[in-house]
Amino acid sequence: MKTETRIVSAGRHPEQHFGAVNPPVYRASTIVRRSLAEWRDVRNRIFDDVVYGRFGTPTTKAFEEAVAALENADRAVAVSSGMAACAAAILSVVKGGDHMLVPDNAYQPVRKLAENFLKPFGVGATYYDPAIGAGIADLIRDDTSLIWLEAPGSQTMEMQDIPAIAAVARERGVTTGIDNTWATPFFFKPLDFGVDLSVNAATKYLVGHSDAMLGVVSMRAELFEKVKITANSVGSCPGSEECYLGLRGLRTLAVRLKQHEANALRVAQWFQQRPEVNRVLYPALPDDPGHALWKRDFSGASGLFSVILEPASEAQIAAMVDHLEHFGLGASWGGYESLVLPFDPTGYRTVTEWRAAGPCLRFHIGLENPDDLIADLEAGFDRLRAAG
Ligand SMILES: Cc1ncc(COP(=O)(O)O)c(C=O)c1O
Q: Does ligand 1 lie within 6 Å of residue 334's CB atom?
A: no
Separation CA 321–CA 312 (nearest Å): 13
Domain boundaries, the chain: 3-250, 254-386
Residue type, 208: G
CA of 79 to the centre of ligand 1 (A): 13
Tell me: the pLDDT tens digits for 307-346? 999 999 999 999 999 999 999 999 999 999 999 999 998 8
User: Which atom of ligand 1 is nearest to 150's Cα?
Assistant: 1
Tell me: the pLDDT tens digits for 240-277? 999 999 999 999 999 999 999 999 999 999 999 999 99
Query: Which residues are part of the catalytic machinery?
Result: 54, 107, 179, 204
User: Which atom of ligand 1 is nearest to 203's Cα?
Assistant: 10
Q: Does ligand 1 lie within 6 Å of residue 107's CB atom?
A: yes
Position 106 scores a pLDDT of: 97
CA of 156 to the centre of ligand 1 (A): 15
Q: Does ligand 1 lie within 6 Å of residue 154's CB atom?
A: yes
CATH topology of domain 254-386: Aspartate Aminotransferase, domain 1 (3.90.1150)
Q: Does ligand 1 lie within 6 Å of residue 213's CB atom?
A: yes
How would you class 300 by CB atoms within 10 Å of its CB: exposed for 0-12, middle for 13-18, buried for 19 or more? middle
How many helices (H) and strands (E) are present in the chain, helices listed first?
13, 12
**Cβ proximity of 278 and 306 under 8 Å:** no
Separation CA 6–CA 9 (nearest Å): 5
Pick the CATH number of 3-250 from 3.40.50.20, 3.40.190.10, 3.40.640.10, 3.90.180.10: 3.40.640.10
Position 347 scores a pLDDT of: 86
Q: Does ligand 1 lie within 6 Å of residue 210's CB atom?
A: no
| Ligand 1 mutation pick, 217, 332, 333, 341, max ligand atoms within 8 A of CB | 332
Query: DSSP labels for 73-134?
Result: -SEEEEESSHHHHHHHHHHTT--TT-EEEEETTS-HHHHHIIIIIIGGGT-EEEEE-TT-GG
This prediction has a pTM of 0.97
Ranges under pLDDT 70 in the chain:
none
CA of 332 to the centre of ligand 1 (A): 7
Dihedral (C-alpha) 287, 276, 256, 84: value to the nearest 10 degrees? 90
The phi, psi pair for 187, rounded to 5°, reads -100, -15
Q: Does ligand 1 lie within 6 Å of residue 177's CB atom?
A: no
Q: Whose CA is nearest to atom 7 of ligand 1?
A: 82
Position 285 scores a pLDDT of: 98
